[in-house]
């Protein structure tokens, strides 16, 4: 027996196409089919509808000699009396990959790899089916196993394409919604069962199979997508949400993406937000990871529905002019046996050296960004979210852990780069490439970095030496602000510089000011419960915090439940505390946020040019004894401005003088102490006039009442 056939029978052959289906045999053609355990096999010439019985060569191989090739259907009979009819996968020799595809993939530059790898619906010679392909360069053999072949490793053994490391097979008549995996025989004769790294859809956890999926979704958002936006000079007010714990059904089950869309978008619009950021929906095995340890980098999780359901969610957001940001996790991945880890029996996607490949904080694996095919896998994931799912923005999680080789490691636990430094040169190049491609390919796309250090130029363009992100989370602002607000007002005057320090670097990057999910878990308390004092002071402080956020330069982000002042920490395993809306004090927090969002979106002073220091002007940051801070926000043309004044103590300040740039009447357009926000209604009766009293380096000033633990916003009343 041919050694190749022996290997095929043992499920160890690297290219079954060499010996199966039509083979030249002099002037005739040998047809060889592999039908494990069949008693009798016949074929039908599909065009002529003629049947031919094949000779049984051993218990699995059947052959026949013919004058010419033709498309055929196999009819197999088994000892138990059962029969099976199917098209032979090895008849379909044409590959989905051209030579250029393989070349670009191996050099890390295939920007549309998501259209090639994984289970791709194809029509070959008029026959529908799925093309399966997977990268496993060190495997001895790879088989597709699934519902359609009784999970038998022998039936659909794949071929390897040259030296690319890609294994491929087109399997005809595979139904949509079929479960499948890849069975990999390693060079150490281990048998691994892996889900598809490029899978579009997965079984609901704890099951782990990939699922074939052919999208039938008809997008309705092309007007929204085609417009694009100058987000740097536009308002961006972000509602951060974890879809599984925002709202649930009465019995505790998850809502579907479509149900979430219709309820969430209406809620967000009513509050005045114009952007939704969702914690990762990439498929993940563990609910408690919140999606930050993904196994399916190309698939929305099946917890809330199928891929078309998720497309509906994004489409519905866009039809309501809501921008969608998705958290994306290229920094690491979990070590679950069915996933990427040790994929083909080697450390394929991760570094082999644990000093480079093991993440010390999350006990996960770190991608080997220096391997071209790995970086191409991640770039393909990003492009897939932008192109197939119309995501507007990707927020890259844990960027700092990617940039530094010694991140969270002690001396001796990390390996320096080739120059002896701590910078991860391969990760840096990957991030630059990711950002360059995103902005070049997708007009509507933007990127955000969650980067916790002072790395220079995170949002500077790549061609100017930066990393190329569109925005960066201002984690320094978040930490310092929450630290300040958690202090008793008696002591705040000693720490005022911690609050105002952020204005020293506020214009060094394009910042988003986050009050995020990370700050309301693990014993850190909810935003409301971080605040000192009795209940009245807690609510007043929370209103004051939101005023500081909306007055400060930078885009805005608030995590769900912060909008109504939830008392409990966030729990990923249940919905947020909606019952609190029955209480007036909580409803009034939402009212303030609604008005802050409307103020933000309707006044260019608060969003134009905010990465430039010219948008901001201090009035006074040195009134330590009163713990009062005041500043001006200018629009880009410098012909409009708003004045913000903050009182960080519970002591009202009467007859408080504030210098202003122009004389005239100033209208109090927002007061956090208003009774309809839950305050004591202490204010300025809507209007104050300037006096020719020099104050704060201005030739005129206004004399106002500052409410306790409150802020007020003034605008110059223009005369007709």
- What one-character DSSP code corresponds to residue 524? S
- Measure the CA–CA gap between 352 and 346, rounded to whole angstroms: 8
Alpha carbon distances (Å) from 335 to 134, 386, 566, 656:
19, 27, 35, 60
Decide: residue 565, CB within 10 A, 0-12 exposed, 13-18 middle, 19+ buried: buried
- Mean pLDDT taken over the chain: 95
Residues 312/261, Cβ–Cβ less than 8 Å: yes
Fold topology of 613-716? Immunoglobulin-like (2.60.40)
Q: What is the tens place of the pLDDT at every residue in 19-47? A: 999 999 888 999 999 999 899 999 999 99
At 463, list the tokens.
């061609």
Would you call 371 helix, strand, or coil by DSSP? coil
- Looking up tokens 């220079």 gives 456
Q: What is the tens place of the pLDDT at every residue in 399-424? A: 999 999 999 999 999 999 999 999 99
Among the listed residues 674, 677, 660, 676, the one whose alpha carbon sits nearest the alpha carbon of residue 707 = 674
User: Which H or E run contains 199?
Assistant: none
Domain 99-107+129-211: CATH architecture, name and number where available: Sandwich (2.60)
Q: Is the pLDDT of residue 250 over 60?
A: yes
Residue 505 φ/ψ, nearest 5 degrees: -125, 10
- pLDDT value, residue 720: 47
- Measure the CA–CA gap between 655 and 671, rounded to whole angstroms: 16
- pLDDT value, residue 119: 97
What is the pLDDT averaged over residues 117-136?
Answer: 97
Q: Among the residues of 113-236, which ranges form H helices?
A: 222-227
- pLDDT value, residue 719: 66
Q: What is the tens place of the pLDDT at every residue in 79-95? A: 898 999 999 999 999 99
574 C-beta neighbours (distance < 10 Å), count: 12
- Measure the CA–CA gap between 428 and 424, rounded to whole angstroms: 6
Say how many residues make up the chain. Answer: 720
- pLDDT value, residue 280: 97
- Looking up tokens 């911690």 gives 498
Percentages helix, strand, coil for the chain (3-state, rounded to 5) are 30, 30, 45
Q: Is the pLDDT of residue 514 over 80?
A: yes
- Measure the CA–CA gap between 678 and 682, rounded to whole angstroms: 11
166-172 and 127-135 beta bridge pairing = antiparallel
- pLDDT value, residue 457: 96
Rg (CA), the chain: 31
Residues 590/539, Cβ–Cβ less than 8 Å: no
Residues contacting residue 680 through CB under 8 Å, at least 6 positions apart: 673, 707, 708
- pLDDT value, residue 598: 98
The answer to pTM > 0.85 is: yes
- The answer to whether 21-87 and 613-716 have equal CATH topology is yes
Question: Which of 653-671 are b and which e, b meaning 16 or more Cβ less than 10 Å from the residue's Cβ?
Answer: beebbbbbbebeebebbbb
pLDDT band for position 229 (cuts 50, 70, 90): confident
Among the listed residues 40, 16, 8, 28, the one whose alpha carbon sits nearest the alpha carbon of residue 90 = 16
Among the listed residues 372, 334, 370, 379, the one whose alpha carbon sits nearest the alpha carbon of residue 351 = 370
More confident residue, 647 or 81: 647
Domain range annotation of the chain: 21-87, 99-107+129-211, 613-716
At 107, list the tokens.
């050099």
What is the pLDDT averaged over residues 499-524?
Answer: 96
Alpha carbon distances (Å) from 318 to 220, 222, 315, 326:
9, 9, 5, 14
- Measure the CA–CA gap between 546 and 279, rounded to whole angstroms: 22
Q: Is the pLDDT of residue 55 over 80?
A: yes
pLDDT band for position 654 (cuts 50, 70, 90): very high
pLDDT band for position 58 (cuts 50, 70, 90): confident
CATH of domain 21-87: 2.60.40.10
Decide: residue 355, CB within 10 A, 0-12 exposed, 13-18 middle, 19+ buried: middle
330 C-beta neighbours (distance < 10 Å), count: 26
Question: Which residues belong to the active site?
Answer: 397, 450
Among the listed residues 397, 518, 407, 400, the one whose alpha carbon sits nearest the alpha carbon of residue 448 = 397
At 378, list the tokens.
């991640």
Q: What is the tens place of the pLDDT at every residue in 434-482? A: 999 999 999 889 999 999 999 999 999 999 999 999 999 999 999 999 9
- pLDDT value, residue 589: 98
- pLDDT value, residue 16: 93
Provide the β-strand partners of residue 623: 628
- pLDDT value, residue 1: 56
Percent of the chain clearing pLDDT 90 (strictly above)? 93
Among the listed residues 298, 274, 112, the one whose alpha carbon sits nearest the alpha carbon of residue 202 = 298
Residues 386/438, Cβ–Cβ less than 8 Å: yes
- pLDDT value, residue 26: 86
- pLDDT value, residue 6: 81
- Measure the CA–CA gap between 656 and 683, rounded to whole angstroms: 12
pLDDT band for position 718 (cuts 50, 70, 90): confident
Q: What is the tens place of the pLDDT at every residue in 547-585? A: 999 999 999 999 999 999 999 999 999 999 999 999 999
At 94, list the tokens.
């044409």
What is the pLDDT averaged over residues 46-52?
Answer: 93
**Distance, C-alpha 103 to centroid of its chain:** 28
At 285, list the tokens.
């095995």
């Amino acid at each position: 027996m041919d050694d190749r056939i022996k290997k095929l029978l043992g499920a160890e052959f690297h290219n079954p196409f060499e010996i199966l289906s039509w083979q030249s045999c002099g002037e005739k053609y040998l047809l060889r089919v592999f039908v494990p355990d069949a008693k009798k096999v016949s074929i039908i010439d599909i065009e002529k509808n003629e049947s031919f019985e094949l000779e049984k060569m051993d218990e699995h191989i059947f052959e026949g000699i013919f004058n010419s090739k033709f498309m055929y259907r196999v009819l197999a009979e088994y000892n138990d009396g059962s029969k099976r009819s199917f098209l032979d996968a090895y008849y379909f020799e044409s590959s989905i990959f051209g030579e250029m595809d393989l070349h670009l993939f191996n050099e890390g530059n295939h920007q549309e790899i998501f259209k090639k790898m994984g289970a791709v619906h194809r029509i070959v010679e008029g026959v529908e089916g799925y093309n399966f392909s997977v990268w496993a360069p060190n495997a001895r053999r790879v088989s597709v196993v699934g519902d359609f072949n009784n999970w038998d490793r022998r039936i659909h053994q794949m071929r390897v394409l040259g030296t690319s490391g890609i294994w491929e097979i087109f399997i005809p008549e595979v139904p949509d919604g079929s479960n499948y995996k890849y069975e990999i025989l390693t060079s150490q004769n281990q048998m691994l069962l892996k889900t598809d790294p490029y899978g579009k859809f997965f079984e609901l956890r704890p099951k782990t199979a990939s699922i074939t999926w052919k999208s039938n979704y008809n997008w309705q958002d092309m007007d929204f997508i085609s417009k694009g936006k100058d987000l740097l000079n536009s308002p961006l007010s972000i509602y951060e949400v974890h879809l599984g714990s925002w709202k649930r059904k009465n019995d505790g089950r998850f809502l579907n993406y479509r149900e979430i869309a219709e309820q969430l978008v209406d809620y967000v619009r009513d509050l005045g937000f114009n952007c939704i950021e969702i914690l990762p929906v990439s498929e993940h095995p563990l609910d408690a990871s919140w999606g930050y340890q993904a196994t399916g980098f190309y698939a929305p999780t099946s917890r809330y529905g199928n891929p078309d359901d998720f497309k509906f969610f994004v489409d519905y957001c866009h039809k309501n002019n809501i921008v969608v940001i998705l958290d994306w996790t290229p920094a690491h991945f979990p070590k679950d046996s069915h996933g990427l880890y040790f994929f083909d029996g080697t450390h394929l996607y991760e570094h082999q050296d644990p000093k480079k490949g093991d993440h010390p904080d999350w006990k996960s694996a770190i991608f080997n960004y220096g391997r071209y095919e790995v970086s191409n896998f991640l770039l393909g994931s990003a492009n897939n979210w932008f192109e197939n799912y119309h995501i507007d923005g990707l927020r890259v999680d844990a960027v700092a852990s990617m940039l530094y080789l010694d991140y969270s490691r002690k001396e001796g636990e990390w390996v320096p780069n080739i120059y002896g430094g701590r910078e991860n040169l391969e990760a840096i190049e990957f991030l630059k490439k990711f950002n360059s491609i995103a902005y070049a390919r997708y007009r509507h796309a933007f990127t955000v970095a969650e980067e916790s250090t002072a790395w220079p130029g995170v949002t500077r363009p790549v061609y100017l030496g930066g990393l190329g992100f569109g925005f960066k989370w201002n984690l320094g602002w978040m930490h310092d602000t929450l630290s300040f607000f958690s202090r008793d007002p008696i002591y705040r005057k000693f720490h005022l510089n911690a609050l105002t320090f952020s204005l020293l670097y506020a214009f060094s990057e394009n910042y988003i000011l986050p009050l995020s999910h990370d700050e309301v878990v693990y014993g850190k308390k909810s935003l409301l419960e971080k605040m000192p004092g009795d209940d009245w002071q807690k609510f007043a402080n929370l209103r004051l915090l939101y005023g500081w956020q909306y007055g400060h330069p930078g885009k805005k982000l608030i995590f769900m439940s912060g909008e109504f002042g939830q008392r409990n920490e966030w729990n990923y395993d249940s919905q947020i505390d909606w019952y609190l809306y029955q209480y007036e004090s909580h409803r009034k927090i939402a009212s303030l946020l609604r008005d802050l969002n409307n103020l933000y979106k309707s006044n260019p002073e608060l969003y134009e040019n905010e990465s430039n220091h010219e948008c901001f002007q201090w009035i006074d940051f040195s009134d330590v004894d009163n713990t009062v801070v005041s500043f001006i926000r200018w629009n880009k043309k410098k012909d409009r401005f708003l004045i913000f004044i903050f009182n960080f103590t519970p002591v009202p300040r009467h007859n408080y003088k504030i210098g202003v740039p122009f004389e005239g009447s100033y209208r109090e357009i927002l007061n956090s102490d208003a009774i309809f926000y839950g305050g004591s209604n202490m204010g300025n009766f809507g209007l104050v006039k300037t006096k020719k009293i020099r104050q704060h380096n201005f030739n005129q000033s206004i004399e106002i009442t500052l409410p306790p633990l409150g802020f007020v916003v003034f605008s110059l009343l223009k005369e007709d």
